[in-house]
Amino acid sequence: MGDHEVVIETPRHNAKLSDLQVEEMENILWAYRERIRDMKTDSRFRYAMVFKNYGTAAGASLEHSHSQLIALPIVPKRVFEEMEGARNYYNYRDRCIFCDIIRQEIREEIRIIEENGEIIALAPFASRFPFETWILPKDHRPSFEEMGDYKALAQILLSILNRMDRILDNPPYNFVIHTSHFRESYNEYYHWHLEIMPKLTKVAGFEWGTGFYINPTLPEDAAKSFREVPL
Amino acid sequence: MGDHEVVIETPRHNAKLSDLQVEEMENILWAYRERIRDMKTDSRFRYAMVFKNYGTAAGASLEHSHSQLIALPIVPKRVFEEMEGARNYYNYRDRCIFCDIIRQEIREEIRIIEENGEIIALAPFASRFPFETWILPKDHRPSFEEMGDYKALAQILLSILNRMDRILDNPPYNFVIHTSHFRESYNEYYHWHLEIMPKLTKVAGFEWGTGFYINPTLPEDAAKSFREVPL
């Protein structure tokens, strides 16, 4: 039992997400927000996830630029693990782990790709994939759909997708938005974020067997390349 | 810190694993056993995993038929989760969950692909991938490398790979062997098994974001097709 919706990102058949204007991207993010808020009114659901598959190697089966929303009656395994980890950290330190990561990354600078007043994009310390990028609100915001404004996010997301196109030659990629679960839209320990995973390497037996990931690209090198690309 | 070894499965450059004779397969399984037993003598290691990538879509980067062994200083995430689940089940029921699954599958028959005196191959109830196949010893055996004989396993593994070649037209696949960790080679709750994952579908945003898998093929249908293929 669940719900599945497709967001058609643009009326132009040949445009890809990275070709859009900031206002168009903002509208897409507002559509995600409105649809998640509607899904939340259905008491059967516990969680909503936004994801995008771009390029056949990333699992896209339609050409026209689109993303997807899914509502689930349970919290997904990966989100549950993140939430449990964040909750344990909070119980120990009395601080949100994502807020602490952002503070540390701003201090160290080397893994930051871009930031504006509200949003930051960085190459995570334990990146699973080459050029994996996380986009987060700088302030403590548990739920994506509770943001009052999406302009700062639209700007950074578009910029990252364009940097990816330039450096990696229009690569296949997935992105997912991890937000809090419906029962606890506000909490002290979770912090919504958007994970972008370019699909440059193959996930093989080692990864399937262990749940560990072999990544030949240092996040510091990925962030540096991203920063230096002329836009 | 770890160890990585490549097992060259045959001197013939153009042979694939499914082309080999039972005795050749037996020798490969003995090689796994001997190498794992050697890795166990190194006190820095806690775990050894065997895996194989066949075909570029499954991540193989070499043509010549081979598989790989890796020794790790920790128990991998996926194995740890299985072990914890199996331990919880054991604490609750006083029985190995894998033994219970085998008993239930033998009773229901519909997901069994093949069995001989010692080994069983089945399509798991919660298969993540189309035609996913698990091969297990019928008796309670925690560790792959503690088996005294590999002939029954060699026969079944070869047979499954040949069935896969026939039905799925020589598909890319991964297999992994999950065995107990070094500190506890014998225990009541874990049961070694070999997981074969043909790579027919793409893992995309939904799977990456949730940790859940969309599988369009029922395991009962996969098992039936496997059983009916003429060898």
pLDDT at B61: 85
Instruction: Give the A:B interface size as CB pairs under 8 Å.
Output: 105
> Which residues of chain A have a pLDDT value below 50?
none
Cα distance from B64 to chain A (closest Cα, Å)? 17
Cα distance from A56 to chain B (closest Cα, Å)? 8
Let me know if B92 is exposed, middle or buried by CB neighbors in 10 A (0-12, 13-18, 19+).
Answer: exposed
Does A205 contact B52 at a Cβ distance shorter than 8 Å? yes
Does B59 contact A211 at a Cβ distance shorter than 8 Å? no
> Where in the sequence is the domain holding B99, given as residue range(s)?
3-228
Chain A residues touching residue B176 (CB < 8 angstroms): 205, 208-209
Active-site annotation of A, residues:
66
Interface confidence (ipTM) of the complex: 0.92
Report how many domains make up chain A.
1
pLDDT at B185: 83
The closest alpha carbon to B77, from A19, A212, A199, belongs to: A212
- The pair of three-digit structure tokens given for residue B34, joined into one six-digit string: 């001997």
Cα–Cα distance measured from residue B62 to residue B196, given in angstroms and rounded to the nearest whole number = 19
The closest alpha carbon to A158, from A23, A66, A62, belongs to: A23
Name the DSSP class of A74: S
Instruction: Considering only the beta carbons, identify the residue of A53, A79, A208 that sits closest to B204.
Output: A53
pLDDT in tens, B135-166: 999 999 999 999 999 999 999 999 999 999 99
Closest-CA residue of A relative to B72 is A210
pLDDT at B37: 97
The full DSSP string for A124-163 is: -TT-SSTT-EEEEESS----GGG-S--HHHHHHHHHHHHH
Does B195 contact A209 at a Cβ distance shorter than 8 Å? yes
pLDDT in tens, B51-92: 999 998 899 988 899 999 999 999 999 999 999 999 999 999
Comparing A40 with B185, the larger pLDDT belongs to A40
| Disruptive mutation site among B68, B199, B206, B215 for chain A (greatest number of A CBs within 10 Å) | B206
| Disruptive mutation site among B74, B208, B212 for chain A (greatest number of A CBs within 10 Å) | B208
Cα–Cα distance measured from residue A24 to residue A150, given in angstroms and rounded to the nearest whole number = 11
For chain A, what is the mean pLDDT?
96
B97-108 vs B77-93: helix crossing angle, rounded to 10: 80
pLDDT at A231: 80
The one-letter amino acid at A94: D
State the CATH number of the domain containing residue A78.
3.30.428.10
pLDDT at B44: 95
Does A51 contact B195 at a Cβ distance shorter than 8 Å? no
Chain A residues touching residue B209 (CB < 8 angstroms): 49, 51, 76, 78-79, 174, 176-178, 195
| Disruptive mutation site among B17, B194, B202, B214 for chain A (greatest number of A CBs within 10 Å) | B202
Chain B residues touching residue A53 (CB < 8 angstroms): 204-205
Characterise A200 by phi-psi region: left (phi > 0), alpha (psi -120 to 50), beta (else).
Answer: alpha
Contact between B209 and A78 (Cβ < 8 Å): yes
pLDDT at A186: 87
Cα–Cα distance measured from residue B231 to residue B227, given in angstroms and rounded to the nearest whole number = 10
Does A197 contact B208 at a Cβ distance shorter than 8 Å? yes
pLDDT at A184: 84
Chain B residues touching residue A205 (CB < 8 angstroms): 51-53, 58-59, 68, 174-176
Determine the average pLDDT of the residues in B5-14: 96
Chain B residues touching residue A57 (CB < 8 angstroms): 202
Chain B residues touching residue A54 (CB < 8 angstroms): none
